[in-house]
Structure 1
Amino acid sequence: MTPPNPELRNPRSHRAILDSTFELAVSKGYGKLTVEAIATAAGVGKQTIYRWWPSKGAIALDAINERMGHLTDFPDTGDIEADLRSQTTALAGLLSSDIGIVYRGVIAEAQSDPHLAANVRDAIVGPRSKLCRDRLERAVTAGQLRGDIPTRAMVQLLYGPLYYRFLLGTDDVQDAPELVGYILAGLRTHDS
């Protein structure tokens, strides 16, 4: 069966579904979110929702990805530490907001839904990791960072602590940008 063409969605219904999903996940808790509740709040039938999304997690993922927008883009001022601090500050703010509440629920559901996990990687993690790797590559080329460490590993070193704090609640994610300096100490060239 061919999936429906997203361009044929009723824009008002689409908007109502995304907004209702986000608002219900924040107000009631992601664990209590159901497709039935979304349909009722959005004023659409369940079949309309299932025509476009396979699960509540897929709807919530679209809703948070849309709200994230360009908030997690990477600046390029030429100063890699300032740029990473700026970006991680923006990300920490986002994870501390209502978006973080919904995102945590989607990540939890993705642990038992391989399709949703792949969509989280494809829609959120992958594109933003690529932006980070591109920025880090420019810093390597400029001699600001070591060239012997793969940029993929650098991304994991930089963002692993933030996600650890976010998902496990071990520390405030707002403090995560301070870790950038410590991590960069090991990633910098001896000349920079």
Structure 2
Amino acid sequence: MKTDTPAAEAAPPCAAVRRGRPRSEAAELAIFTAVEDLMAGGANLSDLTIEGIATAAGVGKATIYRRWPNKEALLVDVVGRLEIAMPESSGTGAREDLVAMIDYMRRRGLAKRSRWILKAAFGQMHSLPELHKAYYERVVRPRREAALALVRRAVDEGVLRADLDIDLLGDLLMGPILYRSILWDDSDLEDPELAAKMIDALLDGLAPGL
């Protein structure tokens, strides 16, 4: 994929370091809004350019390049901004935090269905390898690591069996909601008790024997 970064400022697609002067929240909001508006108007991610985004936002290209090294880094932040924030630990126990994690995935699935821009972004991202890689490194990997850390804590607290591989436990816990929210487009995600039902059904089989 070609980017609009000048040669002197070129950076790897997944680079996330921001440089230059302190951020202007107004300028960043204008840039984010411009990308969302361009997409809402039918622009594809591959068609967006730094020049076009700058024009739509009413800022200079240098304003964008001071904040993002390339288009991919900017688009990852745009998509990340539209997503639902991950929940903080409840402090009440691993079972409750597992439910909160699954419910986060449920609500995220609903948002992807209801927000056209998110749906379009995720639909196009797989055809843009550099953007997909940047998104994976910046968003997906940290989210998975947080989920696996929660699984380890659940094992330590005796909520989950200790004789199973942590990655396998994570897949067993996260797989059902990912299937419903990503692969099964017409599944029922409206039920606010769905996460608790899923976790309790799994814990019946994954909890240590008495």
Shorter-chain-normalised TM-score: which range?
Answer: 0.7 to 0.9
Secondary structure at the residue paired with 1:7?
coil
Superposition CA RMSD, Å: 3.4
- Residue 19 of structure 2 is matched in structure 1 by 7
Say whether the 8 Å CA contact 2:34–2:56 is kept in structure 1: yes
- Residue 18 of structure 1 is matched in structure 2 by 32
Instruction: Tell me the amino acid that sits aligned with residue 189 of structure 2.
Output: V
Instruction: Tell me the amino acid that sits aligned with residue 75 of structure 2.
Output: A
CA distance in 1, matches of 2:44, 2:173: 29
* Structure 1 or 2: more helix by fraction: 1
1:181 aligns with 2:207: no
Is there any run of 5+ residues in structure 1 with no aligned partner, and where? none
Given candidates 138, 150, 159, the residue that maps to 2:174 is 159
- Residue 48 of structure 2 is matched in structure 1 by 35
- Residue 187 of structure 2 is matched in structure 1 by 171
CA distance in 2, matches of 1:29, 1:188: 48
Q: CA 1:112 to 1:67, structure 2 compared with 1: closer, same or farther past 3 Å?
A: closer
- Residue 130 of structure 1 is matched in structure 2 by 145
Q: How does 1:36-185 map to 2 (within 5 A)?
A: 38-44=53-59, 49=64, 52=68, 54-55=70-71, 58-68=73-83, 70-80=85-95, 82-97=96-111, 101-168=116-183, 169-175=185-191, 176-177=194-195, 178-185=197-204
Normalised by the length of structure 2, the TM-score is: 0.69
- Identity, in percent, stands at 27
CA distance in 1, matches of 2:139, 2:45: 23
Give deviations 1:52-108, integer Å, cap 9, x for gaps. 3644x643320232454743444342241x222223223322332369644443333
Normalised by the length of structure 1, the TM-score is: 0.74
CA distance in 1, matches of 2:43, 2:167: 31
CA distance in 1, matches of 2:91, 2:151: 10
Instruction: Tell me the amino acid that sits aligned with residue 171 of structure 2.
Output: Q
Name which one, 1 or 2, has greater alpha-carbon Rg: 2
Secondary structure at the residue paired with 1:137?
helix
Secondary structure at the residue paired with 2:19?
helix
